Amino acid sequence: MHTFEFGRPADAAAAIATAARAKTAQQGADVRFVAGGTTLVDLMKLNVETPGRLIDINRLPLDKIEATADGGLKIGATVRNSDLANNAVVQRDYSVLSQAILAGASAQLRNMATTAGNLLQRTRCMYFRDTAMACNKREPGSGCPAITGANRMLAVLGTSEQCIATNPSDMCVAMAALEATIHVQGAKGSRAIAFGEFHLLPGSTPERETVLEPGDLITHVTLPAPLAGSKQVYLKLRDRASYEFALASAAVVLTMKGETVTGARVALGGVGTKPWRSHEAETALVGQAADAATFRKAAEAALRDAKPQSENGFKIELAKRCLAYALKTAATA
Amino acid sequence: MPAGADLPRIDGLDKLAGRAAYVDDLPTPGAWHGATVRSSVPRGKIRDIHFDPAFDWNDITIVDHRDIPGPNQLKLIDVDQPVLAAGEVRHKHEPILLLAHPSVHKLRDALRAIRVDVEPLPAILDPAAPLTPDLIQYKSDNVLKHIDIRQGDPGPVFARAAHIIEGEYVTGSQEHVYLETQGMLAQWQDGRLTVRGSMQCPYYVLDALTHLFGRSRDAFRVIQSPVGGGFGGKEEYPSLLAIHAALLAEKSGAPVKMIYDRQEDMAVTTKRHPSRTRHRTALDKDGRLLAMEIDVLLDGGAYVTLSPVVLSRGCIHAAGPYFCENIHIRGEARLTNSPPYGAFRGFGAPQTIFAIERHMDVIAARIGIDPVELRRRNLVRTGQPLATGQIYKEPTDLPALMDRALDLAQYKARTQSHAEFNKSHPFLRRGIGFATFHHGAGFTGGGETYLASEVWIEGKPDGTVELQTAQTDMGQGTTTILTQVVAERLGIPTEQVRVATPDTSRVPNSGPTVASRTAMVVGKLIEQACDDLLHQLGRKSGDPEISDDIRRHASLPGKSLVGRAKYQKPASIQWDDKTYRGDAYATYSWATYVADVEVDLRTCRVRVTDFVALQEVGRVLNTTLATGQIAGGVVQGIGWALYENVVLEDGAMKNCQMTNYVIPSAGDLPPIRVVFEERPSHWGPGGAKGIGELPMDGPAPAIVNAISRAVTTTINEIPVTPELLLKATEGRGHG
């Protein structure tokens, strides 16, 4: 680990002012906000991230879960994953979020990890995490050995010639399906970012993972008012029962009238370079009978553009089954 | 407290409370840190080494092969492995240079300021790949060791067999994942070197140092620090690390500590040998084994290291605990340009036992006989020979042992209820499977004779005794067990027994802590040393005067009171290392393991839902420790069968972080029911036999037999990953 400065600003404005001096808010940033540290400190130990300055935001007043005026929910940036998953309102109205968080990491990590930190979780691609290897995400232009190498865990959706790294978050998959909004305070004021626009596809700039600019501080996330009578399921397939990233996961929020699907929001995890909202699957579901054939069609639609690499082709079939299984579970819940 | 009475682990509380000082915890004022510059390619010629001129190299100690005072050889079975590459590299991560500096940070910067120019040479990464002359790197054919075991003449038997069944079985590598990574601390003082560190075999380290530095044994002192797990991974590798630390310490003039982090440890140290075993078996119409032809191929990696003896144990166990008059086992360990594979709990036997126990189920399915019945007809019985001609003389009725395990697992009832369940459930499939197997305790063949182990027990002026052996406690309970053995043999309370820290300046060479030999072989020697001590005192075990006698004798000026014992080969053991005929081991432990599994056809997930581990291991010395050791081995076996996938890139482990090398979590484990059948054996102390490796052998075949039955398909490869299962059940999981 490299040496770094550590500061604890008095308020958000001071934090933002310090961070705004950085050249980037993306990979290679020399200034980083730190909250739970469960991703960042790990990557600093591996020298994958080498910030010169850490800004501790744990003491900023960003740790509340509150109702919003329009019947939704406001979740502070430093709300711990455990607290969010176990919040009574979340469990009742946004259970897919609770399920997703509890499907990730370990109890100890969830006690530390925060909402904003989870939004910024980095990939577990082993080339990214190994500084002896080339990696376009870590060192732009150095190449992507994963494409011809060990890519079993890597993405099949949203990949590019430059990067096939998987977004590892479970929480984000649920938030994508819940149509969350991310609220940012930055050097130029505040703004709200729709969840689907927050993460970027790797394209030719895999080092850029989000739309954040230097100084941007995520203050909170809002969820819209819950859909009345919605059925929510998060299903995660992984190599072991606990403490393991997804091979494939699916978050589904369904509304039904009788045996017909009237509304559907679907997102996939473990298979995309970003949390993968599937409008294709949703279109294939709405207005259709809630049966196995529909669910399989929706799953086929969700993975239609999937591109397998040498070792991860099985994830396409696994993701289809995962989504179909999640839809069936939700429909019969 | 007598043996068998579950003396609590002597080292337990210190480890639990964080008081145990592992090598990285040792206070070492003035110590420098050491690091290694390694090859980035599997094979090549070192053209040049560039040191960035902008970097200040003044206070960095740099060691290369020219700094080695004696032969640049890691002394093991062969001497083909250099400790630092000179001119050519044979595997990725091969050490080329060593660096030391007081600051870890500067050391890391220095590593980055070095570039090694290597001209790649053709590498062989698959031991079965066809050989071209440019790939040959060991003798004429890259064969590190060849073994032939012959009994009878299988060839002609196939012509008259009712059934001929063939199969090929493949096992992957496995990483030890001990909690404490490898580490060594070396310090020269007055021309004498002291090495402390994490190791299983202090005298192996001593031998390797003596050879490399070309000095006498007196110049070296090797001390084991508390070890956080070994599983074979700290059998041979610590010798290399100790040499590296010693070279840096000599050149820098400072104590040098080398501690691998997890990533380096996983990437560069030894692992389980990947294997491929082919069976061709002739049976009569009733399923009796008539002839077995078995080909075992191990990937040895780039140097010989321990591959010959791993292959040996693998081959000896390859025909299983069965009687067959005609057997030919051919084994080869071949060179590849992978980092050398090495010792790992089971030592070749888990690989070949996976093959034979899967093959027995494949045979049963193919000829339409119950797998229980097939084994019942073939399990070795009193007076019959095993593959090396060793006659079965043990008291255990193996079919009865198997039946007991199957009863404990409700095998019959579950076989039936699973069949019903599988007919009615849309996507879940249940299966129960088992393996019958054995594991030889102690070194193979003449190994124990060669080791000539020695143990001492010294009476102290305070009336206590100190046991002096080189046996290391790496968490398996050696200190506790050996304390019990001494206390029981002398008839004194365990509180009056101390066990000396393995320190080559103080303890005799009682051999390495490997091969399930410590409790049984060394334990037996300890009994003899205790008897010698009693003889010197003119006392019988349990005499109340023993402590007073010890106090008096040990207090006499100029006198010492030491009971001694040295291994003598029992006349009843006959072994011919040339023909591989005879008593391969003094004795074996015997077991039947039963696994119950549930497979989700949709998600391709396997869950082991119940596990019975029944074994006959002689007398159990400490039920708590023995149960823990068996359960731990079962977990490691479950990991090898289902989760642990060593991904190789350029021949070396790529997924060398715990985030991408998956070992089972508590949530993946079934209840593990450990049951002992106790039949005291005269080979070990108080009737004990070795148990350390046995539990690694049975889980993989039992689990894969269960999966194969659950999904009615043949799976002959581990680990059984979701993708493997998806392929094997293609089209059956659309939910």
Q: What pLDDT is stored for residue A1 in this prediction? A: 82
Chain Cα centroid distance, residue B287: 34
Are B427 and B345 in a shared domain? Answer: yes
Which residues from A are below 8 Å from B659, CB to CB? 124, 129, 245
Q: Rounded to 10 degrees, what is the CA torsion of B534, B538, B543, B546? A: -70
A126, A243, A321: residue with CB nearest B735: A321
Task: Tell whether the model's pLDDT for residue B535 goes beyond 50.
Answer: yes
- Taking only the tens place, the pLDDT of each residue in B226-246 is 999 999 999 999 999 999 999
- Taking only the tens place, the pLDDT of each residue in B258-275 is 999 999 999 999 999 999
Q: Which helix (H) or strand (E) holds A182?
A: strand A181-186
Q: What pLDDT is stored for residue A333 in this prediction? A: 87
A239, A318, A322: residue with CB nearest B726: A318
Chain Cα centroid distance, residue A35: 17
Q: What pLDDT is stored for residue B3 in this prediction? A: 43
Across the A:B interface, residue pairs with CB atoms under 8 Å apart total 73
Residue A248 included in any domain = yes
Whether B649 sits inside 8 A of A150 (CB atoms) is yes
> What percent of chain A is predicted at pLDDT more than 90?
98
Q: What pLDDT is stored for residue B6 in this prediction? A: 84
Of all residues in chain B, the one with the smallest CA distance to A46 is B263
Among residues B286, B348, B721, the alpha carbon closest in space to that of B515 is found at B348
Given A9, A41, A58, the domain boundary residue is A58
Residue B531 included in any domain = yes
Radius of gyration for chain B, computed over Cα atoms and rounded to the nearest angstrom = 26
Residue appearing with tokens 């609770």: A98
Q: How confident is the model at residue A75 (pLDDT cuts 50, 70, 90)?
A: very high
Report the amino acid identity of residue B597: V
B605, B664, B666: residue with CB nearest A237: B605
Q: Chain A neighbours among B 36-95 (CB < 8 Å)?
A: 40
Residue A225 included in any domain = no
Are B604 and B524 in a shared domain? Answer: no
- Helices of type H across B472-583: 478-490, 523-537, 546-555
Residue B648 included in any domain = yes
Residue A169 included in any domain = no
Task: Tell whether the model's pLDDT for residue B735 goes beyond 80.
Answer: no
Write the CATH number for B455: 3.30.365.10
Are B412 and B515 in a shared domain? Answer: no
Residue A183 included in any domain = no
Are B61 and B110 in a shared domain? Answer: yes
Of all residues in chain B, the one with the smallest CA distance to A322 is B603
Q: Is A321 on the interface with B (CB under 8 A)?
A: yes
Task: Tell whether the model's pLDDT for residue B147 goes beyond 70.
Answer: yes
Domain count across chain B? 3
Of all residues in chain A, the one with the smallest CA distance to B111 is A132
State the Cα–Cα distance between residues B584 and B321, nearest whole angstrom.
Answer: 13
A130, A132, A328: residue with CB nearest B735: A328
Crossing angle (nearest 10°) for helices A292-302 and A314-331? 140
Q: Rounded to 10 degrees, what is the CA torsion of B556, B560, B561, B566? A: -170
Residue B573 included in any domain = no
Are B436 and B491 in a shared domain? Answer: no
Residue B690 included in any domain = yes
> What percent of chain A is predicted at pLDDT more than 70?
100
State the Cα–Cα distance between residues B706 and B170, nearest whole angstrom.
Answer: 17
Are B106 and B204 in a shared domain? Answer: yes
Residue A26 included in any domain = yes
Write the CATH number for A313: 3.30.390.50
Are B518 and B640 in a shared domain? Answer: no
Mutation choice for A interface testing from B37, B38, B605 by most A CBs within 10 A: B605
Are B252 and B328 in a shared domain? Answer: no
Task: Tell whether the model's pLDDT for residue B721 goes beyond 60.
Answer: yes
Among residues B379, B398, B168, the alpha carbon closest in space to that of B281 is found at B168
Of the ranges B5-9, B296-300, B418-422, B682-686, which one carries the lowest mean pLDDT score? B5-9
| B697: its two tokens | 């052998």
State the Cα–Cα distance between residues B189 and B191, nearest whole angstrom.
Answer: 5
Whether B660 sits inside 8 A of A153 (CB atoms) is yes
* Spatial contact of B461 and B547, defined as CB atoms under 8 Å apart: no
- Helices of type H across A273-313: 279-285, 292-302
Residue A212 included in any domain = no
Q: What pLDDT is stored for residue B204 in this prediction? A: 97
Are B606 and B710 in a shared domain? Answer: yes
Among residues A46, A76, A16, A4, the alpha carbon closest in space to that of A217 is found at A16
| A283: its two tokens | 């279109």
Which residues from B are below 8 Å from A317, CB to CB? 726
Q: What pLDDT is stored for residue B446 in this prediction? A: 87
Question: Nearest 5°: CA angle at B431, between B426 and B436?
Answer: 170
B40, B654, B734: residue with CB nearest A150: B654
Are B459 and B336 in a shared domain? Answer: no
Instruction: Compute the residue count for chain A.
Output: 333
Write the CATH number for A42: 3.30.43.10
Given B566, B595, B617, the domain boundary residue is B566
Among residues A267, A269, A225, the alpha carbon closest in space to that of A247 is found at A269
Whether A318 sits inside 8 A of B722 (CB atoms) is yes
* pTM exceeds 0.80 for this model: yes
Q: How close B721 gets to chain A, by Cα (Å)?
A: 8
Cβ partners under 8 Å of residue B534, min gap 6? B490, B540, B541, B546, B563
- Taking only the tens place, the pLDDT of each residue in A321-333 is 999 999 999 999 8
Q: What pLDDT is stored for residue A88 in this prediction? A: 98
Residue B499 included in any domain = yes
Range of the domain at B213: 23-121+182-259
Residue A274 included in any domain = yes
Task: Tell whether the model's pLDDT for residue B734 goes beyond 80.
Answer: no
- Taking only the tens place, the pLDDT of each residue in A150-204 is 999 999 999 999 999 999 999 999 999 999 999 999 999 999 999 999 999 999 9
Which residues from B are below 8 Å from A296, CB to CB? 734
* Spatial contact of A166 and A209, defined as CB atoms under 8 Å apart: no
- Taking only the tens place, the pLDDT of each residue in B577-598 is 999 999 999 999 999 999 999 9
Of all residues in chain B, the one with the smallest CA distance to A245 is B659
Q: How confident is the model at residue A311 (pLDDT cuts 50, 70, 90)?
A: very high
Domain count across chain A? 2
Are B464 and B558 in a shared domain? Answer: yes
State the Cα–Cα distance between residues A76 and A61, nearest whole angstrom.
Answer: 8
Q: What pLDDT is stored for residue B1 in this prediction? A: 45
Residue B132 included in any domain = no
Residue B175 included in any domain = no
Range of the domain at A46: 1-58
Are B557 and B514 in a shared domain? Answer: yes
Given B525, B542, B566, the domain boundary residue is B566
Task: Tell whether the model's pLDDT for residue B161 goes beyond 70.
Answer: yes
How much is the average pLDDT of B277-299?
Answer: 98
Residue B244 included in any domain = yes
State the Cα–Cα distance between residues A172 and A274, nearest whole angstrom.
Answer: 9
| A310: its two tokens | 């040498």
Indicate the SS3 state at residue A333.
coil
Task: Tell whether the model's pLDDT for residue B2 goes beyond 80.
Answer: no
Given B500, B533, B566, the domain boundary residue is B566
**How buried is A26 (Cβ within 10 angstroms: 0-12 exposed, 13-18 middle, 19+ buried)?**
buried
Q: Is A150 on the interface with B (CB under 8 A)?
A: yes
Q: What pLDDT is stored for residue A2 in this prediction? A: 84
How much is the average pLDDT of B679-695?
Answer: 95
Which residues from A are below 8 Å from B603, CB to CB? 237, 318, 321-322, 325
- Taking only the tens place, the pLDDT of each residue in A198-237 is 999 999 999 999 999 999 999 999 999 999 999 999 999 9
Question: Nearest 5°: CA angle at B18, between B17 and B21?
Answer: 135
Q: What pLDDT is stored for residue B732 in this prediction? A: 74
Mutation choice for A interface testing from B268, B668, B729, B730 by most A CBs within 10 A: B668
Q: How close A247 gets to chain B, by Cα (Å)?
A: 9
- Helices of type H across A178-313: 195-198, 279-285, 292-302
Mean of all residue pLDDT scores within chain B: 96
Phi-psi region of A171 (alpha: psi -120 to 50; beta: other; left: phi over 0): alpha
Indicate the SS3 state at residue A115.
helix
Q: What pLDDT is stored for residue B731 in this prediction? A: 67
> Is ipTM over 0.85?
yes
Q: What pLDDT is stored for residue A35 in this prediction? A: 97
